Structure 1
Amino acid sequence: MCAAPVHKDQGRLRAFLEAEARAAGFDGLRITRPDQVREAGSRLAEFVARGRHGTMQWMADRLEQRADPARLWPQARSIVMLAMNYAPGHDPLEILECKSRAAISVYAQNRDYHDVMKGRLKTIAAKLAARTGADVKVFVDTAPVMEKPLAEAAGIGWQGKHTNLVSREFGSWLFLGSIFTTAELPTDEAEADHCGSCRACLDVCPTDAFPAPYQLDARRCISYLTIEHKGVIPAEFRAAMGNRIYGCDDCLAVCPWNKFARRASEAKLQAREDLRAPELAELLALDDPAFRAFFSGSPIKRIGRERFVRNALIAAGNSGDRRLVPPVERLLADDSPLVRGMAVWALSQLGGSERIATLRASHGPDSQAEVEEEWRCALTGTGTTAWRKKAS
C-alpha cells in the first residue's frame, strides 16, 4: 500500500486549516489519530450490553465500526475534529416555568446543524485534499463515528459526567464534525477531565438518567424519550417531562463551565423566533402537512408529526392549563393511536372525571390496545404515578 501523504510544512498546513475553519464559522479545530479512542469502544460495548441504548438498534448494529475508526476507513491516518459553538444568549431553563409553552432544546431552535456544518466541512476537506494530495471523508453525526471520544482525544474538550463534551472555552454547547484523511498530520494532546467533584449535571436530571457519573441510561433520558423513542412513553416519566417536547437541556445548562461560553454568532446559528417558546395550543393543531411546513429545515421534522404531537400532548397534560382542553379533545379522534392515547392521558391530567366518562361514552372502545389502556387508567385514576427523584 502506498505511504500516506506527508505535507512538507506541517506548521503552515496547520495554520491553513485553522484559518479555513474560522472562515467557515467553526470555533475549534484539533487533530487526533484513529487509534486514540480504544477505551471508548469498551464503554460503548458495555452500554449496549446493559440495554441502555434502548431502541437505538443502529448503535448495536455497527458497534465494531463505532469502537474503532480504523474499521470505518482503514486508510485513514488522521482525524481533524471541528467544533461549532451554539451557546444560547439566555438561560434555556427559564422556559420550564412557562407551562403552556413548549420547551425545545437549544440546538433544535436553529437550522438542522447537519445542514449547517456538512457543506462547510466538505469545503475545508476539499481544500485539504487539494493542498496535500490526500483522500478525505467528512462525517457529521450520520455515520458510526464516536465524535465525543474523538474530540476528547484531539483536545477540544472532555466527556463530562453527563457524557456530553465539555470545553473550557465553550462549556457544554458544541456541535462536532470530523474530517478523516489519509494524510499524516501532527496531532494534539488529549484534554484532561476538569469536572472535579461537581455533580450539578447529575443532580438536575428530572428522571435520574445517570446510574453513575459518566454513565447514561438512555431509556430514562428525556432527550431519548422525546426524539428517539417511537412508541408510548412510559407513564412514570411523563410528569417529569414537564413541557419539554423536544430534547432536554437541563444537564447541559447547569454545567459551571458554561460561564466561559461566548454566545454563538447569530449569523451562524440563528434561533428561529417562533421556536424559542411556542404556544402548546398552536403545536397541537398541526396536521401532517402543517407540521412538515412549519419545521422545514429543522431537525424536529425528522421525528415526524406523530411523535411530536405525542410529546406536545404530554406537555399539555402537565400544564394545568384548562384552555388546552379543547385542542386536546379534538385529538381523541386523530388517525394515530399514539396521539389518541396521549390525548386521553393529557385530559386525565387536566382534570374532570365526569368529562372523561362522557368522552369515553361518546368515542366508544378503541381498536388499539394501547389506547384502551390509557382510557382504563384515565377512568380509574391509575397508571399515572409520576417519577420522583431519589433524595441525594
Structure 2
Amino acid sequence: MIGSHQLVSQVRAWARELGFSQIGVAGVDLSSAEEGLAQWLAQGFHGEMHYMAAHGTRRARPAELVPGTVSVITARMDYLPRSTSDDWQAVEFDRLRRPGEAIVSAYARGRDYHKVMRGRLQKLAGRIGEEVGRFGHRVFTDSAPVLEAELASRSGQGWRGKHTLVLDRDAGSMFFLGEIYVDMALPASAPVSAHCGSCSACIEVCPTRAIVAPYRLDARRCISYLTIEHAGPIPLELRPLIGNRIYGCDDCQLICPWNKFAKKSALPDFDARDGLSRRQLGELFAWREEDFLRFTEGSAIRRIGHERWLRNIAVALGNALRAGRQEARVALETRRDDPSALVREHVEWALAQGE
C-alpha cells in the first residue's frame, strides 16, 4: 500500500488538478484552542449565530464531531475572479467612494463557494478512495461546527491575522477553506510563523470597529455579519457606517499589505456575474422576489432571502441620500409600503437621512 507521506504528495497533485491552491494536514488535538473559543462565546461575540454555541467544544474536537477521525486534510482555494487587475485593492476602495454603487463582497460575486468547494472536495476524497480503498471520511466547507481557521493555521495554510482570517505570505487571505476529516493517520504539515508584525491596518480600517483587539472580532459589529447572518433590524448606530456595502465587507482584507500577493482563481466559477457587480443601488432595490431568485441562482447571496436583501439596500440608499444622491429618494419611495415591516422600517430610516 502507498505510504502516508507519498499519499499526501499525491493528494496535493490531485488537488491542484481540481483547482485547489494548497493542501495541508492537521491532527485532531485542538484542545489549546478551546479556552479562547469559550471566552469568545461567553462574551457574546457570536451574536445570533447560535449554532456556534450549540455545538460547544465539539467545534474543537474533530474526533467527537466525526467519530473515528484521526487526521484532517485542509484545502485552500483562491477566489479572486480571473479578470482581477493588479491594482484590485485600490479599485475596490474606489468603489466604496461611489455611494450610488452597490458593493457585494468579492467572494460572493460568482458561484456559491459551498457548492464549488464541496463538490471538488468530494472528488478529491473519491481519488483518495481509489488509491487506498474504502476509508471513513466527511467533507466540510463552512457547513458544520468546524474550527476552519484553526485547522488551516495548524496545517501550514497560513497564520491567523489580527483580523482573525488566515493569511499566507504568497497568497494573502482571498481564499476559501475546506476540510476532509479522515480515519487515516497522515503526517501533519508544519505550521508557518506569523508575519503581521506591528501592522494594525485591518483594525484601524474597520468601519464599525468590529475588531475589538488583535485577533478578536465582535461579530455583532461586523458588516459581514450584519448584512448576512443577522436576521432582524440593523442597529441604528451602525447603519451610517455600512456605507454602500449590501452583502459582506472586504475592508480588512483590502487594506492588508499581504493581499498584494492574492491569487486569481484558477476556476471560472468565481468570475463576477453581471447581475452582482458594478450595479447601482436603485437597480437592485427594484428587484421583485422572482428577480432576486433568478439573478442569485447558484449564488451564496440567495441564502439571505429577498427581505434581507431589500433591508441591506435600503440602508445603503439612506447613506447615498445623506451623501446627496437624490435618486436614492426616488428608489426608496417605491417601497415605502412594502409588505415587510422590516423593509418598511429601514426605508423610513433611509428617507430620514435626507432631511
Q: TM-score, normalised to structure 2's length?
A: 0.94
| Counterpart position of 2:299 | 298
- Matches of 1:99 and 1:265 in 2, distance apart? 32
Q: Using the aligned pairs only, state the percent identity.
A: 44
CA contact (8 A) 1:110 1:269 kept: yes
2:55 is matched by which residue type in structure 1? R
| Counterpart position of 1:379 | none
| Counterpart position of 1:9 | 3
| Counterpart position of 2:196 | 195
State the shift of 1:266 in Å.
Answer: 5.4
- Matches of 1:171 and 1:203 in 2, distance apart? 18
State the shift of 1:328 in Å.
Answer: 0.7
CA contact (8 A) 1:28 1:84 kept: yes
3-state SS of 2:33 partner: helix
Deviations 1:307-365 (A, max 9, x none): 111010110011131112222112111010010011101111123xxxxxxxxxxxxxx
1:76 pairs, out of 40, 51, 69, with 69
- Matches of 2:266 and 2:320 in 1, distance apart? 33
Deviations 1:226-264 (A, max 9, x none): 111111111100111000010000001111111222222
CA contact (8 A) 1:64 1:71 kept: no
- Matches of 2:79 and 2:161 in 1, distance apart? 18
2:248 is matched by which residue type in structure 1? G
- Matches of 1:149 and 1:266 in 2, distance apart? 26
Query: Which residues of structure 1 form unaligned runs of 5+?
Result: 1-6, 352-392
Query: Which residues of structure 2 form unaligned runs of 5+?
Result: none
- Matches of 2:169 and 2:99 in 1, distance apart? 33
1:120 is matched by which residue type in structure 2? R
1:64 and 2:57 matched:
yes
Structure of higher RCO (CA pairs closer than 8 Å, 6+ residues apart)? 2
- Matches of 2:2 and 2:125 in 1, distance apart? 18
- Matches of 2:305 and 2:138 in 1, distance apart? 30
| Counterpart position of 2:127 | 127
Decide whether aligned partners of structure 1 residues 118 and 142 sit closer, same or farther in structure 2, where only a CA change above 3 A counts.
Answer: same
CA contact (8 A) 1:318 1:346 kept: yes
Q: TM-score, normalised to structure 1's length?
A: 0.85
| Counterpart position of 1:339 | 343
State the shift of 1:14 in Å.
Answer: 2.0
Deviations 1:163-219 (A, max 9, x none): 011111110111000011111111111122111111010000001111210000111
CA contact (8 A) 2:282 2:331 kept: yes
- Matches of 1:163 and 1:99 in 2, distance apart? 28
Q: Which deviates more, 194-203 or 266-275?
A: 266-275
State the shift of 1:268 in Å.
Answer: 4.5
3-state SS of 1:34 partner: coil
- Matches of 1:324 and 1:187 in 2, distance apart? 54
1:78 is matched by which residue type in structure 2? S
Larger radius of gyration: 1
- Matches of 1:23 and 1:266 in 2, distance apart? 11
1:324 pairs, out of 314, 328, 334, with 328
- Matches of 1:319 and 1:38 in 2, distance apart? 47
3-state SS of 2:125 partner: helix
CA contact (8 A) 2:275 2:295 kept: no
| Counterpart position of 2:16 | 22
CA contact (8 A) 2:2 2:132 kept: no
1:312 and 2:313 matched:
yes
Q: Which deviates more, 157-166 or 128-137?
A: 128-137
CA contact (8 A) 1:132 1:183 kept: no
